[in-house]
């Protein structure tokens, strides 16, 4: 076992067993289960549409594409590639708070998906008004808490979560970069040609 993996296991045990309480258990279960916390995403969707109007639909589309790419990368590529056993099945004495199926551990798709959402929100809202920046900050905090919940409830190592966060950020960056290129390459060029302006 390498030093990095040993450190990952040590940190997992620390976070899985320390600072625990019934209130924290309830919060982490709430955050980690989409069927319980889905209204947070629905409120975020409503905020985007209210603040951006029709442009909010484009932001939502990019968000969906970023989440799709992040989820596919984490669950469809990384998990089968690394085949890392979840800590709740590999280690003794894990505080497991949910019924977990035997799927692979690296990388955390929860962390990847919420990081992708937070990244797209940051791209489009961080440079706006105070309410937009506050929304961006709240979504970043939400993504970090969801990522931490996966360690707290016993189903992911910190390394899985960190990997998921990186995947989510990179997925958002890729989707935004491609969308910006397509917008510039086709939409802007077509608009300039319509008004007889050379790009």
What are 172-197's pLDDT values in tens digits?
999 999 999 888 776 655 555 555 54
SS3 89: helix
Say what the pLDDT of residue 119 is: 97
Say what the pLDDT of residue 2 is: 85
Residue 6 CA to residue 24 CA, distance in Å, equals 26
Q: What is the largest CA-CA distance in the chain?
A: 71
SS3 16: helix
Q: Does residue 34 have a pLDDT over 60? A: yes
**% of the chain at pLDDT higher than 90:** 77
Q: Does residue 169 have a pLDDT over 70? A: yes
**% of the chain at pLDDT higher than 70:** 92
Q: Does residue 140 have a pLDDT over 80? A: yes
DSSP 41-58: HHHHHHHHHHHHTHHHHH
- Residues 6+ positions from 79 with CB-CB distance below 8 Å: 103, 104, 105, 106, 107, 109
Say what the pLDDT of residue 188 is: 54
pTM for the whole structure: 0.90
Q: Are 10 and 159 in contact (CB under 8 A)?
A: no
Neighbours of 21 (CB within 10 A): 8
Please give the sequence-ordered ranges of beta strands (E in DSSP) within 6-163, or none if there are none: none
- Residues 6+ positions from 41 with CB-CB distance below 8 Å: 117
Dihedral Cα 131, 134, 136, 139, nearest 10 deg: -120
Find tokens 């997992």 and name the residue.
Answer: 12
* Three-state SS letters, 139-191: HHHHHHHHHHHHHHCCCCCHHHHHHHHHHHHHHHHHHHHHHHHHHHHHHHHHH
Q: Are 93 and 125 in contact (CB under 8 A)?
A: no
The whole-chain average pLDDT of the chain stands at: 91
CATH numbers and ranges of domains, the chain: 3-194 (1.10.606.20)
What are 44-90's pLDDT values in tens digits?
999 999 998 888 999 999 999 999 999 999 999 999 999 999 999 99
SS3 98: coil
Q: Which two tokens stand for residue 170?
A: 């990179």
Q: Does residue 33 have a pLDDT over 80? A: yes
Say what the pLDDT of residue 128 is: 87
């Amino acid at each position: 076992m390498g030093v990095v993996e040993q450190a990952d296991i040590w940190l997992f045990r620390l976070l899985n067993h320390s600072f625990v309480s019934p209130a924290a258990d309830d919060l982490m279960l709430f955050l980690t289960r989409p069927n319980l916390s889905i209204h947070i995403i629905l409120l975020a969707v409503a905020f985007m549409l209210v603040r951006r109007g029709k442009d909010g639909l484009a932001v939502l589309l990019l968000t969906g594409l970023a989440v799709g790419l992040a989820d596919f990368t984490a669950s469809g590529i990384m998990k089968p590639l690394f085949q890392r056993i979840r800590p709740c099945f590999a280690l003794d004495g894990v505080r497991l708070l949910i019924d977990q199926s035997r799927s692979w551990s690296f990388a955390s798709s929860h962390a990847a998906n919420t990081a992708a959402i937070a990244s797209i929100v940051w791209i489009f809202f961080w440079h706006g008004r105070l309410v937009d920046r506050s929304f961006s900050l709240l979504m970043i905090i939400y993504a970090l808490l969801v990522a931490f919940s996966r360690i707290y409830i016993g189903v992911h190592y910190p390394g899985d979560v960190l990997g998921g966060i990186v995947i989510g950020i990179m997925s958002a960056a890729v989707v935004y970069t491609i969308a910006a290129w397509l917008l510039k390459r086709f939409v802007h060029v077509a608009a300039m040609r319509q008004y007889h302006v050379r790009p």
